[in-house]
Amino acid sequence: MQSAIIFDYTKKNFYSLTPLVATIDNIKDLQDIDLLLEEDIDSIRIRKLLEKYTNLIIAFSFRTAQFEDIYIRMKAIYSSLKKTELERITFIAGGSHPSGSPSTTLKSGFDFVFIGEAEYSLTEFIRRNLQEDDLFKTPGISFMEDEKLILTPRPDPIKLDEYPFISKKRRLYPPLEISRGCSFGCTFCQVPKLFHHRTRHRSPEILLDVIKWMGTKKLNDIRFITPNSFGYMSPKPKEVNKDAILHLLSSIKSTPGIDNVYYGTFPGEVRPETVSYDLMSDIQPMISNSRISIGLQSGSNKVLKDIRRGHTVEEGINAIEILDDIGFTPIVDIIIGLPTATEEDEMATINVIRHLIKRNSIIRAHVFMPLPGTSLEKTEFKPVYPKIKKILGKLSFQGKLEGNWSHQEKHALNAWKLNQRIANMPFIQREDNL
């Protein structure tokens, strides 16, 4: 009989969980714990696992948009398992929602929350678990003690080159994470707080070594994760290190077995000020994608300033026109319902959207949701102005908007309400949580 750590590993969280799985697999002194991946784990499966293991650590990673689902699943697990079974389980959580709102996460039945990146803190937690050491002294975690929320000191940001990002052993290949953290401070975004305000990059040598191996295994499509694709290896947030990007892309292109390289696509969009005719013409022959994802967010300069976006509407339109001129289809992210956006501001955004559609853009419109861990987290949810909703609904019907526009407002509102409701609950005992 021994312990196991189970990751609730799904299509929605495998980007963030794979580096952790690979990290644990690579550390020799952590091999006394079994590591299992289970999709949408439930009480039936947990009970089965409890027949084999003395103790389980069950790990979830989720975004705020998924919080409602996770809450419902935790509620079902708590109500189905006996107290004696629950006592043998430690529920842990990480990811953008738990990191931004450890209190609501803990109130939903989790014992520990891992704040931000967890390569170091989670391995330290497992080590302590194996050595029967004090779990509460693990750095970078949050838990409840005497009805108070405790946060232990966060460890230093990790050096990306020292940690794996795919799992060869388990054949898990998410898009390759080339950069982490963001020096910009858009007020709606969780990235800077989650991964620190300084962007770290994975070196080309480390990336190319893995890509070479992928080529030998016929894993011939290469995609990337980064907060800003054209910021790769850049010493300053608004500058482009063109040499570094071209070196990376040309080296990948000449790697045997690699057929397709997708750069500047989700989940690695680009910022407007980094787009230029020069850069785009140079990289076009090296990449396979005809689309480039770019964040504009609003067609109102006042709103862009309020959200500290760091670029103007004109810079955004200019970048998108360059993409179109070179022959790329721009996929443009827009946020509707930002706190200071008046109906007039939203109409300005609609006018920009109409212009961009004429320039072959596809718009990805998102309804603003105040996300925990951002400077806007305490903002009230604001319904979309009916006139704006009608226009966007029509554009969506015509196929000009990408994504599931019609359900977004409802999902955003539900997630926000749930967060508010749990935030207002008092801290209570673990077994009575749900």
Q: Which residues bind ligand SF4 (CB under 6 A)?
A: 182, 184-186, 189, 191-192, 227-228, 271, 295
**Taking CA 86 as the corner, what is the angle to CA 82 and CA 87, rounded to the nearest 5 degrees?**
115
Least CB distance from residue 7 to ligand SF4, whole Å? 25
Closer CB to ligand SF4, 116 or 295, in the complex: 295
Beta carbon nearer to ligand SF4, 139 or 267 = 267
Nearer to ligand SF4, 123 or 228 (CB): 228
Q: How far is the CB of 227 from ligand SF4 (least distance, A)?
A: 4
Tell me the Ramachandran region of residue 353: left when phi exceeds 0, alpha when psi lies from -120 to 50, beta otherwise: alpha
Residue 143 or 188 with smaller CB distance to ligand SF4: 188
CB of 192 to ligand SF4, least distance (A): 5
| CB 74 to ligand SF4: min, Å | 28
First to last CA, the chain: 30
CB distance 204 to 176 below 8 Å: no
Residue 181 Cβ, how far from ligand SF4 at the closest point, in Å? 9
> DSSP string spanning 87-110?
TTEEEEEESHHHHH-HHHHHHTT-
Smaller CB separation from ligand SF4, 371 or 395: 371
Q: How far is CA 114 from CA 4, 101, 237, 418, in A?
A: 18, 11, 28, 21
Across 146-213, the runs of DSSP E, i.e. the strands, are 148-151, 176-177, 179-180, 200-201
Q: Which is nearer to ligand SF4, 73 or 309 (CB)?
A: 309
Within its chain, how far is the Cα of 321 from the centroid?
A: 28
Give me the residues paired with residue 53 across strands.
Answer: 2
- Residue 121 CB, nearest distance to ligand SF4 (Å)? 22
CB of 304 to ligand SF4, least distance (A): 11
The letter for the amino acid at 264 is G
Which is nearer to ligand SF4, 73 or 271 (by Cβ)?
271
In contact, 375 and 343? CB cutoff 8 Å: no
3-state secondary structure 74-92: HHHHHHHCCHHHHCCEEEE
